[in-house]
Structure formats: C-alpha cells, structure tokens
A and B are shown apart, each in its own frame.
Chain A
Amino acid sequence: GAVVSQHPSRVICKSGTSVKIECRSLDFQATTMFWYRQFPKQSLMLMATSNEGSKATYEQGVEKDKFLINHASLTLSTLTVTSAHPEDSSFYICSARGPPWGHEGYTFGSGTRLTVV
C-alpha cells in the first residue's frame, strides 16, 4: 500500500536551535501534504497545508515564521521548527492525499516526537 515516510521518528534538541522534519511519499506523487501536531492525550491539530511549488497555507494561530514549510518536489515536504522552545515539544505528523489509484483517503507518516530541552 501507499507509504508516507517521516524522519526522524524522534529528536531531542536544545532550546533555541532549529529542527527539520522530512515527509516523503514513497510510491506516489503528492502535490499537497499536510502537517499536524498533537499534544499528549489530545487530538491532531492541523498546522498547515503544503503545496508543491508554492507557499504553504497556515491555519489560524500558527506562526509561519516559526514553522517553515518547504515542498520542493512532488514527493518531499519539510517542516522546520525554528528557534525551538520547550513549548514546541510535541508529536508532529505529516500526511498526503492519495495515491490516486488507492482508496482516496489520506496516508499519514508515522510521526516525529520532538523534545526541546
């Protein structure tokens, strides 16, 4: 089946540094990808929609200068958390719609657990 690969699965960084998370669609092209974050015991919150070749669309309340999204190819989107602080510690998840031959649902990555110390 369709796979969305997300790396790293777990990262610990120091406060003030930046962290990049990669999301790849392995066997299909994804013109649109989505980034979510999830705090413990809460649901997923949509952060932004990543569009290949154009600027990402951020949800209300999400700082676009802090969460930089780049979707440079049809199979890769990246999320960079800049100047991370402990309150940015969370589970970050990407997803893509597709593949076109599939069930028309969305395929999710396995998530990245970010801990800022």
Chain B
Amino acid sequence: DAKTTQPNSMESNEEEPVHLPCNHSTISGTDYIHWYRQLPSQGPEYVIHGLTSNVNNRMASLAIAEDRKSSTLILHRATLRDAAVYYCILRDIRDDKIIFGKGTRLHILP
C-alpha cells in the first residue's frame, strides 16, 4: 500500500485556521487522497477526498500539490470540537480497502 507521513501531533488556537500536512511521495496515478478524523471513543468520520484538484466542502478544504506528493487539510476556523486524530489515507481506485496510518493528533487551545 502507498504510505503517508503525518506529524504525530499539532496544536492550534481556537478560531484560527489549521493546516494539517501529509506527505505521500510514492503516490500512484490511481490513488485518491482521503482524509478522515476520529474523535475520542468514536468511529472515524469522513472529512474530504480528492484526486488532483483542490477540493472544498462544508468541513474543510484539501490542497493537493501539483506533483501530488503532498497535500494539506485546511480547517478554516478551528473549534474545540475539531480536536481529534486526523488520518490522511491513500486509496487505490482499484481497491475498496482503506488502510489507516498513525494520523495527526490535533489539539485545540481555547
């Protein structure tokens, strides 16, 4: 499986933007970039996904580098409820499975 690298943890202040980086230098042309987050004692929650172009939805934005070897999840205005573990995952379009890495634990400071 193509691998992703994320910082173990990050901190941000409430009501400020958060940029969560992800490196995926071995990404292939058939890999989608997915982001999920997991709040304590809950199942993961879909955040956003993309292939080549930047994507926006009501939760976040996904900025994908031109060479696709890295991406950044952007939370435009963090709240305390955004404190979670954020997982950046590559999913091959030919395969249904998604494999989780270690993720980034995001702490939001009030």
Contacts and interface: CB of A to CB of B under 8 A. Distances in A.
Interface of A: 4, 6, 32, 34, 36, 43-46, 49, 91, 93-95, 97, 103-111, 113
A106 B98 CA distance: 9
Given A104-B49, A105-B34, A105-B49, A93 B43 contact: yes
A91 B39 CA distance: 13
B10 interface: no
Interface in B70-99: 87, 96-99
B97 A103 contact: no
Contacts of A43: 87, 100-103
A71 to B, nearest CB: 13
B96 A32 contact: yes
Contacts of A104: 49
Q: Which among A103, A104, A106 has the highest number of chain B CB atoms within 10 Å? A: A106
Nearest to B103: A43
A110 B49 contact: no
Contact of A108 (B41, B43, B57, B101): B43
B10 to A, nearest CB: 17
Contacts of A105: 34, 36, 46, 49
B44 A44 contact: yes
A111 B97 contact: no
Contact of A93 (B44, B87, B97, B103): B44
B5 to A, nearest CB: 14
Contacts of B45: 108
Given A107-B46, A109-B43, 15 more contacts: A34-B98, A36-B100, A43-B102, A44-B38, A46-B98, A91-B41, A93-B43, A95-B44, A103-B49, A105-B34, A105-B46, A106-B98, A108-B43, A110-B42, A113-B41
A99 to B, nearest CB: 12
Contacts of B38: 44
B43 A103 contact: no
